[in-house]
Amino acid sequence: MAYLFTSESVSEGHPDKVADQISDALIDNFLAFDTDSKVACETLVTTGQVVLAGEVKSNTYLDVQKIARDTINKIGYTKGEYMFDGNSCGVLSAIHEQSDDINRGVDRASKEQQGAGDQGMMFGYATNETENFMPLALDLSHRILIELAELRRENKDITYLRPDSKSQVTIEYSDDNIPQRIDAIVVSTQHDDFGDDETMLAKIRKDIVEILIPRVVAKLPEQIQVLFNNDIKYHINPTGKFVIGGPHGDTGLTGRKIIVDTYGGKGAHGGGAFSGKDPSKVDRSAAYATRHIAKNLVAAGVADEVLVQVSYAIGVVEPMGIFIDTYGTCSFNMTDGEIAEKVSEIFDMRPFAIEERLKLRSPMYSETAAYGHMGRKNETVSKTFKQPNGEIAKLDVELFTWEKLDYVDKVKEAFGL
């Protein structure tokens, strides 16, 4: 019997994502001037106010207020009528030095013996139902909001958009887990107040269905385009008016969108957020490493769908163990336990080895803080950072290194594929 599966995404202007982006902008600036920085930074945003809190051990000094304001302005909160804008909001910093009790378990005389920054379990997932090995419902949800943000910045075809928005996509699957059609799409977008409620809602619905969705579909592979049809149920701003939004409409906190950040409810999640954490925190680095493993396993043909779990104890170098679930889709006669044993031989999962393999000590994190940490494009970009004393760092930074298929040949060789 066919079944439905749903995933959601939120835009860069969503209050929780504003908080994530500020926290990750701080991470990038610390790492740009001191690659050994240890940072755990939380952000709270609300009406006209930003609060920064956390622990830092670093040899550099930052103007955290300016970084927060620049991030907010870049997102698009630049007008006083939003009741939250980068130029006028208050910014309170309560960042202090990292606890020695935590640091002693991480720093070692030999970097190779660096302990895990915390205990916990982390999950990575991949499926062959999309070209980027991501669950389709989440991938489409992200694409809708990325395109909506493009329309907002172009300010031509749709001129009333504000930064805060959410999307949700429901897909019908067959019994053998193959996507059959798009059943429903939900889009809620903040907007200017440009008329009576009925007129605004009619205009927004028309523009989303007739302008946004065709632009999204046009950029999709042909096999995904055919899933769109005239029977899709659209819920556009289903509550009606959505003028009050962003941090004025809802308080935002770092780390509250962990399912949006990962796999949209597919696979599993260990519970740890990513943004605001340097890569010594395995909540972040090991989640990237397990995605790297899962993606390379699926790309190599080990299975159609793979979940990878790794777990750690704080201060301990080696992981507690690696778990693999192929959901019965393994392409040859090998148990998931046997696959896990081979994976542990191929991939070094010590915290420092992960940092080195995925180049995680570079300022790559601002780009991860909206529209998902997984399934993104691996590319190298140029970045410029400036300290309060005028020192400038110009760096070429490789993004989303965990999305590389650089272990496919090693996996094929290990499994005889």
Annotated binding site for L-methionine: 55, 98, 250, 281
**Backbone CA torsion sign across 105, 107, 112, 116:** positive
Annotated binding site for K(+): 42
Which residue stretches of 164-309 are H helix?
197-207, 213-218, 222-225, 246-249, 258-261, 282-300
- Region at 133 (left for phi over 0; alpha for psi -120 to 50; beta for the rest): left
Is 340 in contact with 322 (CB distance < 8 Å)? Answer: yes
Cβ-based neighbours of 195, under 8 Å, separated by 6 or more: 203
- φ and ψ at 224, to 5 degrees? -90, -35
Annotated binding site for Mg(2+): 16
- Distance, CA of 125 to CA of 323 (rounded, Å): 12
Annotated binding site: 14, 16, 42, 55, 98, 164-166, 241-242, 250, 256-257, 273, 277, 281
Task: Indicate the residue type of 340.
Answer: A
Cβ-based neighbours of 119, under 8 Å, separated by 6 or more: 311, 312, 313, 314
Cβ-based neighbours of 317, under 8 Å, separated by 6 or more: 113, 114, 115, 116, 350, 351
Element (H, E) at 73: helix 64-75
Is 352 in contact with 36 (CB distance < 8 Å)? Answer: no
**Backbone CA torsion sign across 323, 329, 330, 333:** positive
Annotated binding site for ATP: 14, 164-166, 241-242, 250, 256-257, 273, 277
- Cβ density class 386-400: b for 16+ within 10 Å, e for less: beeeeeeeeeebebb
